[in-house]
Amino acid sequence: MSATTQSPMVTTALAQAAAERGSQQEGILRYKDLLLMLIWRDIKIRYKQSIMGFFWAVLMPILIVGSGLIVMVVFSTISGHPINKLDVLSVAAKAVPWAFFVGAIRFGTNSLVANKELVTKIYFPRAIMPLASVLASFFDFVIAEAVLALVLVIARVGVSIQLLWFPVLLLVLMIFTAGLSLLLACANLFFRDVKYLVEVVLTYGIFFTPVFYSAGKLGKLGWILMLNPLGPILEGMGNALVLHQPLAVNWLLYAAAWSVALFLVAWKIFDKSEAAFAEAI
Amino acid sequence: MGHSGIQFSGVWKKFARGEKFDSLRDLIPSLVKYVVTGNHRGDLKAREFWALKDVSFDVQGQAMALIGPNGSGKSTALKLLSGILKPDRGDVHVHGRLGALIELGAGFHPDLTGRENIYLNGTILGMKKAEITRKFDEIVEFSGISEFIDTPVKRYSSGMYARLGFSVAAHIDPEVLLVDEVLSVGDYHFQQKCFDKMRDFVRRGTTLVFVSHNMAAVGSLCKTALLLKHGVPVFQGDVAGAIQKYYSFYEEETSNDNVELVDVRLSSTSGEEREVFEPGEGVVLEVKLKALQDLHNAHAALLIHTADGQLVFDTATSRLLDNRPLEMKKGKSATVKFALDMNLRSGVFLLGFNISSDIVVPGQYIYYNGCVKRVVMTREQKANGIVHLNPRAELTFG
């Protein structure tokens, strides 16, 4: 043992180890298996009873499409225009990503507080928890999209070159959801009533997002719906999958800029406040 | 492994006591109040307290015990080492792969099976999936619950839960291992197994920080110790000294202005001074004392406690010397000598010394020290338990 005389090599190694522990990015890479394991855990628990699990993935999109139908019937009665098959299907195409967003944000917001025991007892990069929640919800999304694809095939909607936008839109959606999830998980840890606020916003948020109707239906005020970064993403998905309409690239850029900025800011805030998690929780 | 180690240099850590603003509903009105009335800071500061005050240590490839009464800051120190908390002042460095047995089975999900939880818990503790697969059989075998490995852990008893938790944690092959009072669960056999595993780690050069109230475990596992009280390092160094000091928190040396111990010697019957003995060996404890007051009708006593505070043996000059009292004038010296056969086995025992008088109330002492010397009894292979009864056996057939 050398209490005072320490070789320079050891000191360097110590400094290096300290630097490693500091950064969230490297931490996440080192803990990749943990991320995968937590995603697997969330999915496994939810799908333990496989039929209910599968239902869980499609239940919410079906409910959204159902309520969308009612809204459309009301509109059609008022305006006198008959309901179009493609409009209904485009609501479905937008309901699936919306359901993913709601699910991911709901689980993500609670992810740190729900794993209190881990946060106070064991060290690992905390960002893994909200990210795992988002990715576990993504699994539901994939199942719901598969069901949607089947419906679209049966309805003979067909495909077009616009479908190529879908992966880009999905990427932007993921970044936006992950960023918001990190931010809200962190906020909910410090202020426990954040989750109630989130619930309220998620419940009524659907009316401020073009899910039941397209932004165009609002006429000149349509741009208001597009200000919400989810607006261009969901509209884009409806266009790419069902309507085969060209995408509003400038709106997509707007949403992408928002998403990336949100993610970076959220990451920074999360990283800075992480040290205080164990005490504040 | 060589360079594994931890360093704590001048670490201070403060906590806030009492309620905090943990909801927006409370925060917003108080912010408004702060803006309107101005000063709100003073009483917030008053609720803070230091959980650790200027603590420094350096351990490299050795076992160090962290002991102290409840609330002394031991767990806080471990959390700082594991990176869960950050110090307010000072530096914490950990070099080498860190394993922490702070909570066994943390992150176990009740609905998942033992098998699934090994993977989940293993990755939480920092293992790679492939690594767990490689060690899987070993982990299951060590835990001794292979029959239940495909049962959801919610059906496990708390002992089984702890077994599996320890087993996973013990297989991370840590270079730096933090252990926080986790071995109180599980049966005797499993506890011994855990200790053997930890001894094995130490032998192979793992840096171990061991937090426990079980002084027997502390004494047998660690060579050095840090004793904390209210976040302040009280004693740092040899484990025997730390244990001795630890007990002195409880057994205050009553009126130590009566007697001063000048010298305490522990030796074998042949006169060789040492502290490690074989079961059954004869030992001599010699205490040279000086009277700071006149002593009348006093008797000296010898006590032996196990390191976790259980009284094993107690004798006094009054009984051994046919009531011949210790009569001393102020300033004079005397030597008390006890000889006995140490029919004790495997572990650390504390030799205590006290002087009482017929005149004072029983239980009150002229002098009391719960541990003047420490005895380490070597392991005896023939039996278990704390006493050495010199067992023999015979087999007769027919």
**Taking residues A41-47, what's their average pLDDT?**
85
User: pLDDT digits over A187-242, tens only?
Assistant: 999 998 899 999 999 999 998 888 888 877 777 777 888 889 999 999 999 999 99
Whether B391 is in a domain gets the answer no
User: pLDDT digits over B276-315, tens only?
Assistant: 888 888 999 999 999 888 888 888 999 898 876 678 898 9
Q: Return the pLDDT at A15.
A: 41
Confidence of residue B130 (pLDDT cuts 50, 70, 90): very high
Residues B203, B267: one domain?
no
Q: Return the pLDDT at A12.
A: 37
For residue B181, the domain's CATH number is 3.40.50.300
Cβ contact, residue pair A31, B126, below 8 Å: yes
User: pLDDT digits over B25-57, tens only?
Assistant: 777 777 777 777 765 544 445 567 888 999 999
Confidence of residue A104 (pLDDT cuts 50, 70, 90): very high
Long-range contacts of A217-220 (CB under 8 A, 24+ apart): A217/A75
Share of chain B above pLDDT 90, in %: 27
User: pLDDT digits over A82-103, tens only?
Assistant: 888 888 898 999 999 999 999 9
| Backbone φ and ψ of B301, nearest 5° | -130, 150
DSSP secondary structure letter of residue A156: T
Whether B212 is in a domain gets the answer yes
Residues B271, B206: one domain?
no
Average pLDDT for chain B: 84
Apex A16 CA angle, A13 and A17, nearest 5: 90
Residues B215, B78: one domain?
yes
Long-range contacts of B189-198 (CB under 8 A, 24+ apart): B190/B144, B190/B159, B190/B163, B190/B166, B193/B142, B194/B166, B194/B170, B195/B220, B195/B221, B197/B142, B197/B170
Selected residues 187-246 of chain A with any CB under 8 Å from a CB in chain B? 190-194, 197
| Backbone φ and ψ of B9, nearest 5° | -120, 115
Specify burial of residue B141 (Cβ count, 10 A radius: 0-12, 13-18, 19+): exposed
Residues of B in contact with A197 (CB under 8 A): 24
- When scoring B13, B24, B208 by the number of chain A Cβ atoms within 10 A, the one with the most, hence best to mutate, is B24
Of B84, B94, B109, nearest to A278 by CB-CB distance is B84
Q: Return the pLDDT at B339.
A: 94
Residue B327 C-alpha, separation from nearest chain A C-alpha, in angstroms: 48
Whether B388 is in a domain gets the answer no
Q: Which of A47-51, A197-201, B84-88, B286-290 has the lowest average pLDDT? A: A47-51
DSSP secondary structure letter of residue B215: H
Q: Return the pLDDT at A25.
A: 61
Quick one: which of A69, A67, A21 has its CA closest to B83? A21
Residue A175 C-alpha, separation from nearest chain B C-alpha, in angstroms: 25
DSSP secondary structure letter of residue A246: P
Residues of A in contact with B7 (CB under 8 A): 14
Question: And the tokens for B184?
Answer: 């109180």
Whether B394 is in a domain gets the answer no
Residues B142, B50: one domain?
yes
| Backbone φ and ψ of A52, nearest 5° | -65, -35
Confidence of residue A168 (pLDDT cuts 50, 70, 90): very high
Q: By CA distance, what is B84's nearest residue in A?
A: A123
Cβ contact, residue pair B123, A2, below 8 Å: no
Residues of A in contact with B86 (CB under 8 A): 275-276
Gap between the Cα atoms of B140 and B117, Å rounded? 11
Residues B135, B19: one domain?
yes
In this complex, how many residue pairs, one in chain A and one in chain B, have their CB atoms less than 8 Å apart? 109
Q: Is the pLDDT of residue A264 over 50?
A: yes
For residue B280, the domain's CATH number is 2.70.50.60
Cβ count near A252 (within 10 Å): 19
Residues of B in contact with A44 (CB under 8 A): 112, 116
Beta bridge partners of B353: B302, B369
Chain centroid, CA A91 distance in Å: 18
Interface check for A18 against chain B (CB to CB < 8 A): the answer is yes
Cβ contact, residue pair B95, A118, below 8 Å: no
When divided into structural domains, chain B yields a total of 2
Q: Please report how many Cα atoms fall inside a 13 Å half-sphere around the Cα of residue B70, on the Cβ side.
A: 0
Full-model pTM = 0.74
Q: Return the pLDDT at A78.
A: 86
Whether B296 is in a domain gets the answer yes
Cβ count near B372 (within 10 Å): 19
Interface check for A5 against chain B (CB to CB < 8 A): the answer is no
Query: What domain range includes position B365?
Result: 254-377
Gap between the Cα atoms of A266 and A127, Å rounded? 10
Q: Beta strands B207-211 and B176-180: pairing type?
A: parallel
Whether B9 is in a domain gets the answer yes
Whether B392 is in a domain gets the answer no
Point out the domain boundary residue: B202, B224, B244.
B244
Chain centroid, CA B361 distance in Å: 33
Q: Please report how many Cα atoms fall inside a 13 Å half-sphere around the Cα of residue B166, on the Cβ side.
A: 29
Cβ contact, residue pair B21, A121, below 8 Å: no
Of A176 and B342, the one with more pLDDT: A176
Largest distance between two CA atoms of chain A: 88
Interface check for A124 against chain B (CB to CB < 8 A): the answer is yes
Q: By CA distance, what is B169's nearest residue in A?
A: A122
Question: And the tokens for B313?
Answer: 């043996």
- Which amino acid is located at A66 in the chain? G
Report yes or no: A169 and A94 within 8 Å, Cβ to Cβ: no
Residue A229 C-alpha, separation from nearest chain B C-alpha, in angstroms: 26
Interface check for A281 against chain B (CB to CB < 8 A): the answer is no
Residues B106, B53: one domain?
yes
Of B141 and B49, the one with more pLDDT: B141
User: pLDDT digits over B306-316, tens only?
Assistant: 876 678 898 98
Report yes or no: B100 and B83 within 8 Å, Cβ to Cβ: no
Cβ contact, residue pair A37, B123, below 8 Å: yes
Report yes or no: A24 and A274 within 8 Å, Cβ to Cβ: yes
Residues B346, B240: one domain?
no
Q: Return the pLDDT at B4.
A: 82
Gap between the Cα atoms of B165 and B183, Å rounded? 11
Report yes or no: A214 and A139 within 8 Å, Cβ to Cβ: no
Secondary structure element (H or E) that encloses residue A235, with its range: helix A230-238
Report yes or no: A161 and A245 within 8 Å, Cβ to Cβ: no
Cβ contact, residue pair B126, A191, below 8 Å: no
The contacts of residue B352 (CB under 8 Å, 6+ apart) are: B251, B302, B303, B304, B305, B368, B369, B370, B371, B372
Residue A19 C-alpha, separation from nearest chain B C-alpha, in angstroms: 10
Q: Return the pLDDT at B395.
A: 92
Apex B215 CA angle, B213 and B219, nearest 5: 135
User: pLDDT digits over B231-258, tens only?
Assistant: 899 999 888 788 877 876 655 544 467 8
Q: By CA distance, what is A192's nearest residue in B?
A: B23
User: pLDDT digits over B89-99, tens only?
Assistant: 999 999 888 88
Q: Return the pLDDT at A99.
A: 94
Confidence of residue A11 (pLDDT cuts 50, 70, 90): very low
Q: By CA distance, what is A188's nearest residue in B?
A: B23
Q: Is the pLDDT of residue A8 over 60?
A: no
Report yes or no: B104 and B169 within 8 Å, Cβ to Cβ: yes
Question: ipTM, 2 decimals?
Answer: 0.80
Gap between the Cα atoms of A123 and B178, Å rounded? 12
Residues B218, B262: one domain?
no
- Which amino acid is located at B339 in the chain? A
Quick one: which of A112, A246, A260, A100 has its CA closest to A186? A112
Point out the domain boundary residue: B190, B224, B244.
B244
Cβ contact, residue pair A122, B7, below 8 Å: no
Interface check for A47 against chain B (CB to CB < 8 A): the answer is no
Residue A139 C-alpha, separation from nearest chain B C-alpha, in angstroms: 19
Residues B226, B278: one domain?
no
Residues B277, B193: one domain?
no
Average pLDDT for chain A: 85
Secondary structure element (H or E) that encloses residue B11, with its range: strand B5-16
DSSP letters for B230-269 = TTEEEEEEEHHHHHHHHHHTTS--TTTTSEEEEEEEEEET
Q: Return the pLDDT at A261.
A: 97
Residue A108 C-alpha, separation from nearest chain B C-alpha, in angstroms: 17
Q: Is the pLDDT of residue B161 over 50?
A: yes
Residue B373 C-alpha, separation from nearest chain A C-alpha, in angstroms: 25
